[in-house]
Amino acid sequence: MRRIMQECVRRYISNNKNSALLLADIGAWPFHDLLEKYPSRAKNIGIFEAGMVSLAAGLSISGIVPTVYGITPFIVQRALEQLKLDFVYQKLEGNFITTGASYDFSTLGYSHYCPEDVLTLKTLPELEIVTPGTPQEFETLWNSCHNNGRATYFRMTDYCNSMNVNCEFGKASILKKGENCTVIAVAETLDKVWNACKNEDVTILYYSTVSPFDYGTLSDNCESGKILLCSPFYVGSLVADIVKSLESRRIIIRECGVPNEVLRNYGTKDEKDKYCGITVSNIKEMLESLI
């Protein structure tokens, strides 16, 4: 996904003189040609994410669309007030790409984890949040959002799905129709969801845009009133959207996601998924108990 992201950004910066790239000294090397070719507007300016996001807003006010790239918690949390006041409040355009996802940097500890990014950014009305699961999905979503006049958060992961979905910005994809339950897969959980549920009589929906949330597709595809939500985020991140999609209906929701706790363990991404219960076997168990 990083490679595709780099290509997308390179293309955009190269073809648009009213664009700028701001790197926070993370993943800068692959952009070295861009930094050399466009030194006035493609810069690795070091680690000062809060000030950097305000700086990006100043560019945006002046008609230069900024693309900011950094590690998830340092963009989402350190610069949260800047995203809120400088971009959302001022209705400015900008692209915020992060690496690290929930706990891709599994050995770096809690400081570098951010399973709360979606929950946190959902508090900012009008901010677009896309969570591609594959490089192709990143490219599709980038092409839809990177120059659309709004602020967009692109959540990258290094642990992509093998299953690519022909996704569309702002729309959930219906991967399978069934009777007993609606299973919602988000971002990099899709492979596990598919493996756990493909032979069951269930509907499977895949979300690669979580804001704006596609209420309609869920509303039209949840006859059973039973929902199993699988996401790589803190549990609760999308429950409000699900309830809103199905308001005035009796529903049962079960959720497979990151428990809302301080993660003090390290290990591999896979070990962390097991700890959180984001596994094929657990998804199967949760589904069985639900239906």
Partner 1 sequence: MENKNVLKKLRKKILYISLIGKDGNIQSCFSSLEIIWTIYSFFLSVGRTEHFSEGRNRFVLSKGQSNLAVMVVLAEKGVIEERELEKFCKFDSRISMQADRTKFSGIVETSAGSLGHGFPMAVGMAWAKKIKSEKGKIFCLAGDGEMNEGTMWEAAIFASSEKLNNLVLIVDDNSSISRLIDIGSLKDKFIAFGFIVSEVNGHDVEALKEVLELNFDKPHVVLAKTIRGWGSKTLIEDRSWFHRYPKEDEIELLCREVDDFEKDYARMCKKIYFK
The residue ranges that bind partner 1 (CB under 8 A) are 18, 20, 40-41, 45, 48, 50-52, 54-64, 66, 81-82, 85-86, 89-91
State which residue, 89 or 266, has the beta carbon closest to partner 1: 89
Q: Residue 48 or residue 275: which is nearer to partner 1 going by CB? A: 48
- Please, what is the minimum distance in Å from the beta carbon of residue 66 to partner 1? 8
Q: Pick between residue 44 and residue 136 the one whose CB is nearest to partner 1.
A: 44
For the chain, the 3-state helix, strand and coil shares in percent, each to the nearest 5, are 40, 20, 40
DSSP H or E stretch at residue 228? strand 226-234
Which lies closer to partner 1 via its Cβ, residue 48 or residue 215?
48
CA distances to 69, 102, 202, 210 from 73, in Å: 12, 9, 35, 18
Per DSSP, the chain holds a count of helices (H) and strands (E) of: 12, 12
State in angstroms the smallest separation of the CB of 279 from partner 1.
42
Is the separation of the CB atoms in 3 and 24 below 8 Å?
no
- What is the distance between the alpha carbons of residues 168 and 181, in angstroms, rounded to a whole number? 23
Do 128 and 153 contact (CB within 8 A), yes or no?
yes
Between 58 and 267, name the residue whose CB sits nearer to partner 1: 58
By beta-carbon proximity to partner 1, the closer residue of 83 and 287 is: 83
Alpha-carbon span 12 to 38, nearest angstrom: 12
Q: Which amino acid is at 117?
A: D
Shortest distance (Å) from residue 81 CB to partner 1: 6
Nearer to partner 1, 69 or 169 (CB): 69
**Shortest distance in whole angstroms from residue 180 CB to partner 1:** 48
With 0-12 CB in 10 A as exposed, 13-18 as middle and 19+ as buried, what is 288? exposed
CB of 51 to partner 1, least distance (A): 3
State the minimum distance, in angstroms, from the CB of residue 145 to partner 1.
21
The nearest distance, CB 210 to partner 1, in angstroms, is: 25
Query: Could you tell me the smallest distance in angstroms from the CB atom of residue 235 to partner 1?
Result: 31
Burial (0-12, 13-18, 19+ Cβ within 10 Å), 178:
middle
What is the distance between the alpha carbons of residues 149 and 91, in angstroms, rounded to a whole number?
8
Residue 72's SS3 state is: helix
Smaller CB separation from partner 1, 18 or 260: 18
d(CA 70, CA 25): 8
